[in-house]
Amino acid sequence: MAATRNTPVYLFILPTLASSLLPSPLPSNLILDTTITDGWQHPPVARLEQRFKDMHRLDREKKIHSPELYAIWNAKPWLTEEGMRKSRSGEKFEWDYVFWADAGSFRDTWYNGGSWPLPKIRRTWEKVGEDEMDTEHKVFLPLQHATTKELELEGGLRRSYRRGNSEASFFGGSPSTIRWFNSTFDAYRNFYMSRSFFIGKEQPLLNSLILLLPSRFIRVHVNDPYAPAYIHPNSMLDHRWLRSIMRRYLRSFYETRALGRCRGEYMYYQFFFADKHTRQRLQDMWLSDLHDSWDHWFGGGENPGGSEKCRTTRAISLLEAFRKDDVLGPNWDPATYRSIVVRLGGIR
């Protein structure tokens, strides 16, 4: 964690774990909050203990989940606003950008020696194309598998309700965006609770929010065939040709390598927000490390050219992403999804 040296990190941790898990001395950019001593103590979920315990019976993955875990997952937007508020010094002072990051996403040590996220983060927001909402007020949210027909309306709603489209391990934006996100998440949680939707996991709730309010969210997408940095395959002998055919006709989650040899969506946002030196290190590492079965069958795997280096892209709004031909199409309107949510009433 020392590697994020320039970025203040506000860490919620149980008092009992603080001494055993953290390094000594503590990094100077780390602010510890040990005031929360159990998962049910967060105001948004305190009154939901019994509901989450009942819901646990409906969970397809109940063996690996617990009601306490639901409580923590559901409290993330609340904790983000809470951390933002408590870490402010002085009444008037505000952060420029605030992000939630699961402690688990710091597991990797790839960013050692760099600072993360990079200081010029504002550019990410500035470069998102204008649509219904002004660019500043958008939540950055990494997604998995969300540009395939997975998101297709009614069936997609039911499925995406269980799948992890939104990663939920990282999100953020300006302080006003964080406040909006917390109160919106809270309002929808109450609504879905009243209809007996399964919302133990926070991902389904986030999936529904991104379909209801897609212009409020932005992302970077490593398999984006519409990215300016996408390199078209120029012949059938190019292994990218096969990858693009796979994607077009089989709609698989198969990595198209639209932006070169990058390591999946999860690592991509970390790469995207890293400084130049860290990016270069990752590019070189992935160029030689990443192989999949296609590389071995169709060549190009052992000695990838420099053009295969992982490339950066720009952030896009989810409205723009969902309206691509290979997702929900240019005529898709979030209002369609809104009426489905209302009609379904509740999903188990």
Instruction: Please check whether residue 218 is in contact with residue 140, taking contact to mean a CB–CB distance below 8 angstroms.
Output: yes
Q: What is the chain's Cα-based Rg? A: 21
Angstrom distance (rounded) from CA 206 to CA 76 = 11
Residue 182 touches ligand NAG, criterion: CB under 6 A:
yes
**Distance in Å, CB of 299 to ligand NAG, minimum:** 53
Buried b (16+ CB within 10 A) or exposed e, 260-272: bbbbebebbbbbb
Residue 238 touches ligand NAG, criterion: CB under 6 A:
no
Nearer to ligand NAG, 76 or 138 (CB): 76
Binding mask 184-213 for ligand NAG (x = CB under 6 A): --x---------------------------
Number of other residues whose CB lies within 10 A of the CB of residue 187: 10
Contacts (Cβ under 8 Å, ≥6 apart) of 140: 99, 124, 170, 171, 172, 173, 217, 218, 219, 269, 315
Residue 116 touches ligand NAG, criterion: CB under 6 A:
no
**Distance in Å, CB of 46 to ligand NAG, minimum:** 12
Omega cis (within 30) before 117: yes
**Strands 9-12 and 30-33: what pairing?**
parallel
Name the residue among 218, 224, 203 with its Cα closest to residue 318. Answer: 218
Segment interacting with ligand NAG (CB under 6 A) among 28-36, 146-154, 181-189, 335-343: 181-189
Q: Which two tokens stand for residue 266?
A: 């999860």
**Distance in Å, CB of 182 to ligand NAG, minimum:** 4
Nearer to ligand NAG, 182 or 208 (CB): 182
Nearer to ligand NAG, 84 or 318 (CB): 84
Instruction: Please check whether residue 209 is in contact with residue 94, taking contact to mean a CB–CB distance below 8 angstroms.
Output: no
Q: Which two tokens stand for residue 283?
A: 């590019």
**Distance in Å, CB of 176 to ligand NAG, minimum:** 13
Q: Which two tokens stand for residue 333?
A: 């309107």
- Of residues 125 through 154, those in contact with ligand NAG by CB under 6 A are none
- Of residues 60 through 79, those in contact with ligand NAG by CB under 6 A are 78
Nearer to ligand NAG, 186 or 238 (CB): 186
Nearer to ligand NAG, 187 or 245 (CB): 187
Residue 280 touches ligand NAG, criterion: CB under 6 A:
no
- Of residues 4 through 63, those in contact with ligand NAG by CB under 6 A are none
**Distance in Å, CB of 154 to ligand NAG, minimum:** 30
**Alpha-carbon torsion 22, 25, 27, 32, what sign?**
positive
- DSSP 8-state class, residue 73: H
Segment interacting with ligand NAG (CB under 6 A) among 18-26, 135-143, 164-172, 182-190: 182-190
**Distance in Å, CB of 82 to ligand NAG, minimum:** 4
Instruction: Please check whether residue 238 is in contact with residue 299, taking contact to mean a CB–CB distance below 8 angstroms.
Output: no
**Strands 217-219 and 139-140: what pairing?**
parallel
Residue 183 touches ligand NAG, criterion: CB under 6 A:
yes
**Distance in Å, CB of 188 to ligand NAG, minimum:** 11
Nearer to ligand NAG, 188 or 268 (CB): 188
Among 59, 82, 224, 308, interactor with ligand NAG by CB under 6 A: 82
Nearer to ligand NAG, 79 or 157 (CB): 79
Omega cis (within 30) before 25: yes
**Distance in Å, CB of 75 to ligand NAG, minimum:** 10
Name the residue among 70, 96, 302 with its Cα closest to residue 168. Answer: 70
Among 81, 167, 265, 308, interactor with ligand NAG by CB under 6 A: 81
Instruction: Please check whether residue 44 is in contact with residue 71, taking contact to mean a CB–CB distance below 8 angstroms.
Output: no
**Residues binding ligand NAG (CB under 6 A):** 78, 81-82, 182-183, 186
